[in-house]
A and B are shown apart, each in its own frame.
Chain A
Amino acid sequence: MSDAWRCAWRELRRRKGRTLANVLGYLLAVAIAVVVVTALRFSEKAANQILNSTGTHFVAFVPAAVPACGECSVKAAGEKGEGFVACGVATHLVPVSLAGKVGSLPTVRDASAYLSFRFKDPADGHLFTVGGFDPRNASAVGTTCCAATDVVGGRFTRPDERGVALLEEAYAKLRHLEPGDAVTIAGARFPVVGVINPGIRPAKADVYLPYRDAEEAINRRMEGTPIRAEANVLLVEVASSRVQDEAIRSVKQLHPGLVVSSYACYRPAAQVMGMNEGAAWLLTIILAVAAVALSLKSQLASAIERRREIGILKAIGWTDGSIVSQLLAESVLQAAAGGVLGALVAVAILAVVPIKLLSGIETPVAVSLWPAALVGGVLLALVGGVIAGVFPALHAARQRPAEALRSI
């Protein structure tokens, strides 16, 4: 251990009261900052989780009204009234590969190709919509189309299952169908394994089939070229509610004809969440600044109190650099001790205090400690220690020894 650190340690031990006060200041600042940041992340995750179920997703498609471009194609069904539809309008087809491109955008968590086709029942002429989805995809499909949690009767389609159908609850009631019955679509018979109520979802359909089954059924009704590796809807799950607008812009840039259907309810919620988050960060910054300011005041007071001692040290040959090193080492040691202890106290608080319960937020999201907050808290304390130490140290070192020695 260098002389500066050794002397600093000795000084801190001998000035226990002041040392404890300074360490306590850092401890409280770091502990509160870590707890606030952890609670903030929990709140953000919980809010995201809620927003995800209401609006951090959208569907994208190219309306048939848009002139067909190089990448999209117009394919028509043979029967009048049948065809590709999304959100009530006829659509073009786009390559399935576009879903991969959308999914790789940084603002997008997941994307999946989807077929939405309106059939006409040859028996009674009623129109119904078939949604062809990827049963292995629980993310984008789950939020925009249907999910296992939507089941109200029977069960959900298994990930690699083929040849089965799910019915939307209202449609099932209208047609007097239930799990165990079967539906015939384009000449193929599909046993009904479940009835679901997806609520308000942008890619809602009457009947849901596994993607390949839907593709085969549609192709049986197509005139001319069958569809191959094409879809008419992209289901998109956004990375976070705060980037939804940016994600929509990015997706639209990938294809000039794409239009997006989403719920705008995420906007005010995201704004409120942003305000809460901003307030929490502001609080954390104020805490950190207050801790540094208090420590700065304490260090300055200590340097002034020790003016005569510093004068003696200078008189016996301690250079300004030696004085600054010594006082800085004292400040950093206190900050390091306060920072580490504060992080430990924060861990203890988070282990003992039921933050989730106290917050009153009902969510499956758990309060989890963020290691970066702990490391950040300790680093913040160290930076504070340097800032709080360097100015009083420079102030103390600049004084002339004769003046300091006269100062009693």
Chain B
Amino acid sequence: MTTIPPNPQATATPDGVLLECKDLKKTFTLRRREIRVLQGVNLSAARGEIVLITGRTGSGKSTFLTLLAGLDRPTAGSVRLDGRRMETLSNEELTRLRRERIGIVFQSHNLLPSWTAFENVEAALLHTGMPAAQRRGRVEALLSELGLGDRMDNLPAELSVGQQQLVAIARALANEPALILADEPTGDVDPESAQEIIRRLTLPVKEKGATLVIASHGTFPVDVADRVLCMSDGRLVPYEADVPLRLRPVSRAGDLQ
């Protein structure tokens, strides 16, 4: 089992390692059949580092991000964020941790269909104790920066797929998270929009030292990342650019997703 070290440049940041997971395993039982999606994943990511995880569809990338976000519990292994072991936290504490430290961009945007763009972004700040005026200012600024200043009152269904993704990114960044987890953030958008998404996602990394972990099956440019890893057979292995993704082994998680 190999622990993939953080990018040396990134670890040079004064705060050191932000995210660390050891021997992370996740098994699902589906129709009495065990599906071992993650089979001992190790990763260490420093503050200010961008980690890109590639892998074929169904390789377990999304499941891995789900565990990093504390949305689900691992079958075995541990995840540390800011030195806190997430498996020891209660559901309530995990929720607070997400609210305060983690921003998530879901693969399918996961916007609330009956809430406007503004309300979707504001939702991430609603129970933070932030005054309403400050909340409004931050949400408006974020959406304006993303070119959605005139679409704030639109429902997700009234926005293009790319615009929906931008709203999802704004929501993930609203609480100024230390860890940003993005699942296929450029999967459904045109190259121009993808550039804007990449710029906006990497900005907090450059300006505030946030850590960005991206899962992508190949649509995200590898040169943006400090490190590129590949999810293969339920484990993270170093990325080999000359091996096409389609030739890499896929875990049995493919059956699930």
Instruction: Give A residues with C-beta under 8 Å from B.
Output: 3, 7, 10-11, 14-15, 308-309, 312-320, 322, 400-403, 405
Contacts and interface: CB of A to CB of B under 8 A. Distances in A.
B66 A316 contact: no
Contact of B127 (A312, A322, A401): A322
Given A11-B114, A14-B114, A15-B114, A317 B71 contact: no
B69 interface: yes
Interface in B120-137: 123-124, 126-128
A330 B119 CA distance: 17
Interface stretch (B8-16, B47-55, B91-99, B229-237): B91-99
Nearest to B128: A317
Given A3-B127, A405-B106, A312 B112 contact: yes
A317 to B, nearest CB: 3
Contacts of B106: 312, 315, 405
A317 B72 contact: no
A332 to B, nearest CB: 19
Contacts of B114: 11, 14-15
B71 A318 contact: no
Nearest to A397: B91
7 contacts: A3-B127, A11-B114, A15-B114, A308-B110, A317-B96, A318-B127, A319-B127
Nearest to A3: B126
A60 to B, nearest CB: 70
B100 A316 contact: no
Contacts of A319: 92, 95-96, 99, 127
A315 B91 contact: no
A14 B104 CA distance: 26
A200 to B, nearest CB: 73
A289 B27 CA distance: 45
A312 B96 CA distance: 14
Contacts of B111: 312
A93 B99 CA distance: 87
Nearest to B99: A317
Contacts of B128: 317
Contacts of B98: 315-317
Contacts of A308: 110
A315 B71 contact: yes
Contacts of A7: 126
The 9 closest A-B pairs by CB, nearest first: A317-B99, A402-B72, A402-B71, A14-B114, A401-B71, A316-B124, A312-B110, A322-B127, A317-B98
B95 A317 contact: yes
Contact of A405 (B110, B119, B123, B171): B110
Contacts of B66: 402
Interface in B56-110: 66, 69, 71-72, 91-92, 95-96, 98-100, 104, 106, 110
